[in-house]
């Protein structure tokens, strides 16, 4: 056990707490805020199961984005799909024995790290070189991409260039989950990787990363188009009829 390991472990506890509590708070706010009017962007599904299908297409394939712009869609989808694989691959650091399907996707997950980086660079190029997108970008938009690029690059470096002791990393995180702090390999790239993830977790519930839960609560996408068939009324609006 050394100072760096203790610090990282503690930061991870805080970041995880902020992530979970913050996200829960946000989702709770979205869920409790009423949607007084029926505003699905039509043509929209007329049934609840149709809505589930629409949302699935939106979340899995980015259907609307596909209609909008192939550059953003291809790079955005590549990044998100790769990130999903990379995250699943990382489950091996938190499970013992490693689940069968997690072991199975290890080889794909490895290359997903590369395609994730490619997607991020493609998105950043758009932000830098397309006048319109540069105009709407705030410093935090660039930094967010940089943070993710940093995470991807440091991860790839440990995989393909300067291996870190992944067995030690795994035992550190297995212990961390049991509230027992072990020792991390003294590897600067690893520290950078982990601290970047800490930052990402912490800012998730207070940043534009809220698009992830947000999409599920978007009335223009999650409402069924049935206003004539069923009366829809929010509590505060019903109060006006009393």
Name the 3-class secondary structure at 137.
Answer: coil
- Binding status of residue 101 toward other proteins by CB under 8 A: no
Among 2, 49, 138, 178, binds other proteins (CB under 8 A): 138
Ramachandran category for residue 78: left, alpha or beta (phi over 0 → left; psi -120 to 50 → alpha): alpha
Residue 94 main-chain phi, psi, to 5 deg = -120, 5
Should residue 52 be labelled a site residue for other proteins when binding is judged by CB under 8 A? Answer: no
Q: Does 35 interact with other proteins (rule: CB under 8 A)?
A: yes
- Answer whether 60's CB lies under 8 Å from 239's CB: no
Least gap, CB of 84 to other proteins (angstroms): 16
Between the CA of residue 77 and those of 21, 137, 146, 179, 221, what are the distances in Å? 28, 20, 18, 36, 19
Residues in contact with other proteins, shown as a per-residue x/- string from 218 to 237 under the rule CB under 8 A? xxxx---x-xxxxxxxx-xx
- The site string for other proteins over 75-94 (x = CB under 8 A, - otherwise) reads -x------------------
Length of the chain: 242
**Closest separation between CB of residue 85 and other proteins, Å?**
20
Q: Cα–Cα distance between 114 and 157 in angstroms, integer?
A: 11
Q: In the set 28, 33, 48, 180, which binds other proteins (CB under 8 A)?
A: 33
In the complex, the smallest distance separating the C-beta of residue 148 from other proteins, rounded to whole angstroms, is 12
**140 interacts with other proteins by CB under 8 A:** yes
CB closer to other proteins out of 1 and 39 = 39
From 110, 130, 157, 168, residue interacting with other proteins (rule: CB under 8 A): 130
Task: By CB under 8 A, tell whether 37 contacts other proteins.
Answer: yes
Residue 120's nearest CA partner among 87, 90, 91, 143 is 143
Contacts of residue 43, Cβ cutoff 8 Å, sequence gap at least 6: 225
Pick the closest to residue 210 from 17, 20, 61, 26 (CA basis). Answer: 26
Q: Given the rule CB under 8 A, which residues bind other proteins?
A: 26, 29-30, 33-39, 41-46, 50, 58, 62, 64-65, 67-69, 72, 76, 123, 126, 130-133, 135-141, 143, 203, 206-208, 210-211, 214-215, 217-221, 225, 227-234, 236-237, 240-241
């Amino acid at each position: 056990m050394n100072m760096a390991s203790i610090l990282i472990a503690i930061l991870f506890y805080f970041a995880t707490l902020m992530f979970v509590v913050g996200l829960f708070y946000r989702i709770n706010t979205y869920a409790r805020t009423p949607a007084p009017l029926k505003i699905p962007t039509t043509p929209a599904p007329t049934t609840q199961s149709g809505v589930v299908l629409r949302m699935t297409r939106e979340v899995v394939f980015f259907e609307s984005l596909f209609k909008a712009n192939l550059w953003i869609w291809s790079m955005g989808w590549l990044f998100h799909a790769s990130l999903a694989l990379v995250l699943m691959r990382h489950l091996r650091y938190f499970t013992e024995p490693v689940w069968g399907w997690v072991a199975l996707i290890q080889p794909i997950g490895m290359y997903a790290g590369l395609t994730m980086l490619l997607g991020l660079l493609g998105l950043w190029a758009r932000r830098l070189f397309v006048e319109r997108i540069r105009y709407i970008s705030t410093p935090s938009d660039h930094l967010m991409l940089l943070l993710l690029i940093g995470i991807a690059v440091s991860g790839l470096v440990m995989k393909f260039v300067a291996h870190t002791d992944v067995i030690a990393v795994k035992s550190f995180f297995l212990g961390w989950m049991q509230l027992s702090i072990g020792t991390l390999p003294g590897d600067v790239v690893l520290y950078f990787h982990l601290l970047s993830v800490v930052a990402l977790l912490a800012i998730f519930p207070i940043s534009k990363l809220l698009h992830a839960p947000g999409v599920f609560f978007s009335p223009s996408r999650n409402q069924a188009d049935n206003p004539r068939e069923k009366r829809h009324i929010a509590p505060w609006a019903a109060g006006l009829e009393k």
